[in-house]
């Protein structure tokens, strides 16, 4: 070896390493100096989310001027992001991502119903509250009620949505003006300016609300120091099944203190999960681990600022949850979006996009593979009965909760030349969930299903059944739709038809414990106790074999209720203990013990058992059907009528379809000579349960209180209203 050549090489290596270390130190010093010279944000931070606001609806994005003057004025004083994207076309998953800074695959909120942010989620509000900010929010949509978990971290959260009958096309929401009034009352209590306000409002009210908010901030001399983020939760809601720019692209304008950067436009794609790290960066809070989003502060601070490019994820599981269709996943790069669903698609995102870069496309697909690989989709929890009709207004009707897992992801094949919506070669495929259909078929099916479900929200049950049956006739293999038909038939008291339909579902899904659970419940209501017992045993057998703890708990609960109806105390206690074993937060043994004591007329002991169950449920915010009904019955037996009334009212609040509770409350009022109160209960019964079964109970109550003529008039009205309905036979038995 030539020793004379080694020394120069060593000297060169030492020189390069020294330069590198100096560069790193210099960069660190520059960042440290910048952080010291750039003071933390001290003014208020406001986040405004407008439900279903597409970017191209605003003048700043090319719409005709004049429709949104207040938002236009705010945008003129803001930095405008040309390409901002949501992660879901549905309201709750989109907001869960926005407020938690996590994608739906990470935070677990996959649909508008049956999901909630887990307790202890690190939301924007929680993290800013830890930095000394007061936190307040007011929302317009029922989908963002407290039980969804999005209220975490807010010291003030107003979601007081009026519970009113829904007209055609109506949604359970309040006007943005009323939402702002609630927020404004909180704003007026803020003595300082270190606060975070979140507003979620409807599109119609958005401009007026923005105008009033700016006026209030200026009146209190906080507008100049405020940072305001305005965005949409998603674009066109449509049917919630497609992932394209119409549903995912949203406006994002950021007004900074002193109007810094006003008039600047940013073309780099950004996403909702970027907002949480951005706000933390603005207040100089420590970075939170595990976040996929990027802080946009570098872009906000200077024209030449940039952040690393990052693919943007989105999903829609609406079709899967509604009727057993296929979920849709998407990942967007700078120029293209790949979509996986019934059809695999490649969407062009910018008109000037060049030819496909196969390497870049392969990277996108690999990134989507990593996001989805090994992630089972957790089935939704069953919504509270009190929420069912309002969720139906958004197109949600509980279907079967068990589905096939994702199949292993397949390798990519070479792609064809680009077309505006060119099909990709086969990507990761899903295990069969529904009959083969392309994206257009699935979108059409989602739309038809939504129309039928909206009729449930309006309590037009016969018309809803007609719509669902039309879908089932065209797609007889859709077990979830058949299940929904059977469940709806059971709800309106048509037990024989419900049983026949659910038995057909069992033939399609013989290993699904949810089907015999529904059959057992239907047969129990029809007092077919031996048949109900057989179905409950089948449900327990399948649930135990499947291993899903929620299914186990549910199967054992219905088995315990059937055993109670059959006077099988041993079986009821055994199943109650197994239900609690599967779900330790479910105090079914206490409830069953109370039921058995009540049947033995040991009312004081029964009261203690029911109260034990109630105390166990309270920390979980859960409920057990008929718990408050039996508490009310116990109090009535003990002549504690005011407490009985409160318990009956609570049962109806949680389980408004429980016809027997209306009867108990009406009898309580009759016993205390409160005739007008009896009238109100009967009216509420007919309004809440406008079915032959509901009318039958109302007629019986009128007969009991001596209003025979009115009872017969009600029966006649029901016969006209439900002409041809097989369950009209109930009216005859009610005489």
| pTM across the whole model | 0.88
When pLDDT is cut at 50, 70 and 90, the band that residue 413 belongs to is very low
Note the pLDDT of residue 39. Answer: 74
Sheet containing 345-348: order of strands: 312-316, 328-332, 336-340, 345-348, 421-423
Pick from 504, 487, 484, 505: which is nearest to 495 by CA? 487
Structure tokens at 242: 């497609």
Q: Report, as an integer, the average pLDDT of 196-218.
A: 97
Between CA 161 and CA 168, with CA 167 as vertex, the angle to 5 degrees is 125
Tell me the CA distances in angstroms from 629 to 586, 694, 701, 705, one per residue in order: 18, 18, 18, 21
Q: What pLDDT is stored for residue 578 in this prediction? A: 97
Close Cβ partners of 262 (under 8 Å, ≥ 6 residues apart) = 76, 77, 78, 79, 255, 256
Q: Which of the residue ranges 362-376, 422-436, 467-481, 503-517 would you say has the lowest mean pLDDT?
A: 422-436
At residue 306, the 3 state secondary structure works out as coil
Token pair 């390798």: residue:
411
| pLDDT for residue 735 | 40
* First vs last C-alpha separation in the chain: 113
Gap between the Cα atoms of 462 and 725, Å rounded: 8
CA–CA distance, 601 with 507 (Å, rounded to integer): 43
pLDDT band at 28 (very low <50, low <70, confident <90, very high): very low
What's the CA gap between 33 and 421, in Å, rounded? 48
Angle between helices 588-599 and 549-565 (to 10 degrees): 0
**Where exactly are the structural domains of the chain?**
45-312, 318-423
What average pLDDT score do residues 35-62 get? 85
Judge whether 624 and 609 are in contact, CB under 8 Å.
no
pLDDT digits (tens, 9 = 90+) for 457-514: 999 999 999 999 999 999 999 999 999 999 999 999 999 999 999 999 999 999 999 9
Q: CA 179 to CA 163: how far, in whole Å?
A: 15
* Residue 524 CA: distances (Å) to CA of 495, 505, 532, 546, 564: 10, 18, 6, 24, 11
Using CA atoms, how far apart are residues 614 and 633, in angstroms rounded to an integer?
15
Burial of 507 (0-12, 13-18, 19+ CB in 10 A): exposed
pLDDT tens digits, 264-321: 999 999 999 999 999 999 999 988 888 999 999 999 998 888 899 999 999 999 999 9
pLDDT more than 90, % of the chain:
69
SS3 568: coil
d(CA 245, CA 253): 18
- Alpha-carbon distance of 391 to 112, in angstroms, equals 8
Query: Is a pLDDT exceeding 60 seen at residue 638?
Result: yes
Provide the pLDDT for residue 240.
67
pLDDT at residue 31, as a whole number: 42
Q: With pLDDT > 70 as the criterion, what percentage of the chain qualifies?
A: 88
Listed range (252-261, 390-399, 725-734) with the worst mean pLDDT: 725-734
pLDDT in tens, 320-345: 998 889 999 999 988 889 999 988 88
- Over residues 98-116, mean pLDDT: 95
610 pLDDT higher than 90: yes
Query: Which residues, 6 or more positions from 364, have their beta carbon under 8 angstroms from its beta carbon?
Result: 311, 331, 333, 336, 338
- What phi-psi label fits residue 120: left (phi over 0), alpha (psi between -120 and 50 degrees) or beta? left
Tokens coding 354: 């060049």
In angstroms, rounded to a whole number, what is the distance separating the alpha carbons of residues 29 and 481?
63
What is the pLDDT, as a whole number, of residue 1? 43
Residue 378 tokens read as: 């957790």
Distance CA(472)–CA(186), nearest Å, equals: 50
Question: How far from chain centre, in Å, is Cα 170?
Answer: 18
**Residue 237: exposed, middle, or buried by beta-carbon count in 10 A (0-12, 13-18, 19+)?**
middle
In the three-class reduction of DSSP (H, G, I as helix; E, B as strand; rest coil), residue 63 is classed as coil
Using pLDDT thresholds of 50, 70 and 90, give the confidence band for residue 238: low
Ramachandran sector of residue 362 (left: φ over 0; alpha: ψ -120 to 50; beta: rest): alpha
CATH 3.30.420.10 is right for the domain spanning 45-312: no
- As a whole number, the mean pLDDT across the chain is 88
């Amino acid at each position: 070896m030539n020793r004379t050549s080694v020394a120069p090489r060593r000297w060169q290596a030492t020189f390069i390493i020294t330069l590198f270390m100096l560069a790193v130190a210099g960069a660190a010093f520059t960042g440290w100096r910048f952080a010291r010279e750039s003071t933390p944000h001290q003014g208020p931070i406001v986040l405004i989310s407008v439900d279903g606001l597409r970017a191209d609806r605003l003048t700043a994005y090319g719409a005709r001027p004049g429709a949104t003057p207040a938002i236009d004025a705010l945008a003129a004083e803001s930095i405008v992001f040309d390409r901002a994207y949501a992660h879901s076309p549905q309201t709750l998953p989109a907001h869960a991502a926005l407020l938690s800074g996590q994608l739906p695959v990470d935070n677990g909120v996959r649909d508008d119903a049956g999901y909630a942010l887990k307790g202890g989620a690190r939301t924007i509000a929680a993290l800013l509250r830890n930095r000394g900010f007061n936190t307040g929010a007011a929302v317009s949509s029922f989908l963002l009620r407290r039980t969804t978990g999005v209220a975490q971290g807010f010291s003030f959260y107003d979601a007081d949505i009026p519970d009113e009958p829904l007209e055609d096309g109506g949604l359970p929401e309040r006007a943005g003006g009323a939402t702002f009034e609630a927020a404004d009352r909180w704003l007026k209590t803020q003595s300082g300016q270190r606060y975070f306000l979140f507003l979620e409002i409807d599109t119609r009210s958005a401009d007026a609300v923005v105008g009033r908010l700016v006026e209030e901030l200026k009146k209190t001399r906080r507008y100049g120091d405020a940072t305001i983020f305005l965005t949409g939760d998603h674009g066109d809601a449509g049917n919630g099944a497609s992932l394209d720019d119409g549903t995912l692209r949203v406006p994002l304008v950021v007004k900074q203190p002193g109007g810094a950067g006003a008039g600047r436009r940013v073309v780099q794609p950004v996403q909702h999960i970027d907002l949480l790290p951005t706000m933390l960066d603005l207040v100089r809070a420590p970075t939170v681990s595990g976040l996929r989003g990027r802080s946009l502060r570098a872009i906000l601070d200077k024209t030449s600022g940039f952040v690393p490019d990052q693919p943007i994820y989105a999903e829609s599981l609406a079709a899967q949850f509604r009727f057993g269709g296929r979920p849709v996943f998407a990942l967007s790069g700078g120029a293209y979006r790949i979509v996986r669903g019934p059809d695999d698609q490649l969407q062009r995102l910018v008109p000037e996009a060049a030819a496909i870069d196969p390497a870049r496309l392969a990277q996108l697909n690999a990134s989507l593979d990593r996001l989805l690989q090994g992630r089972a989709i957790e089935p939704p929890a069953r919504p509270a009965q009190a929420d069912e009709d309002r969720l139906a207004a958004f197109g949600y009707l509980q279907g079967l909760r068990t589905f096939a897992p994702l199949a292993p992801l397949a390798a990519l094949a070479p792609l064809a030349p680009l077309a505006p919506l060119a099909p990709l070669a086969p990507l990761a495929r899903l295990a069969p969930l529904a009959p083969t259909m392309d994206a257009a078929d699935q979108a059409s099916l989602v739309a038809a299903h939504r129309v039928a479900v909206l009729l449930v929200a309006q309590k037009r049950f016969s018309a809803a059944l007609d719509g669902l049956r039309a879908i089932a006739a065209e797609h007889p293999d859709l077990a979830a739709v058949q299940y929904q038909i059977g469940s709806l038939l059971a709800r309106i008291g048509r037990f024989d038809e419900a049983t026949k339909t659910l038995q057909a579902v069992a033939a399609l899904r013989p290993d699904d414990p949810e089907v015999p659970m529904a059959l057992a419940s239907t047969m129990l209501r029809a007092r077919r106790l031996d048949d109900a017992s057989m179905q409950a045993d089948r449900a327990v057998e399948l649930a135990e074999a499947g291993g899903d703890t929620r299914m186990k708990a549910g199967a054992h609960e219905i088995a315990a209720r059937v055993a109670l109806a059959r006077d099988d105390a041993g079986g009821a206690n055994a199943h109650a203990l197994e239900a609690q074993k599967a779900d330790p937060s479910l105090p079914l043994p206490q409830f069953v013990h109370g039921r058995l004591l009540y049947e033995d007329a040991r009312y004081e002991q029964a009261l203690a058992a029911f109260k034990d169950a109630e105390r166990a449920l309270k920390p979980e915010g859960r409920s057990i059907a008929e718990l408050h009904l039996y508490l009310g019955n116990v109090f009535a037996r003990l002549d504690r009528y005011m407490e009985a009334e409160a318990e009956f009212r609570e049962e109806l609040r949680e389980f408004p379809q429980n016809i027997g509770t209306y009867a108990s409350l009406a009898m309580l009022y009759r016993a205390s000579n409160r005739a007008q109160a009896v009238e109100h209960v009967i009216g509420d019964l007919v309004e809440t349960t406008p079915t032959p079964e509901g009318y039958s109970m109302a007629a019986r109550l009128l007969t009991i209180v001596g209003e025979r003529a009115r009872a017969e008039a009600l029966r006649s009205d029901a016969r006209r209203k439900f002409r041809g309905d097989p369950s009209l036979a109930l009216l005859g038995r009610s005489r």
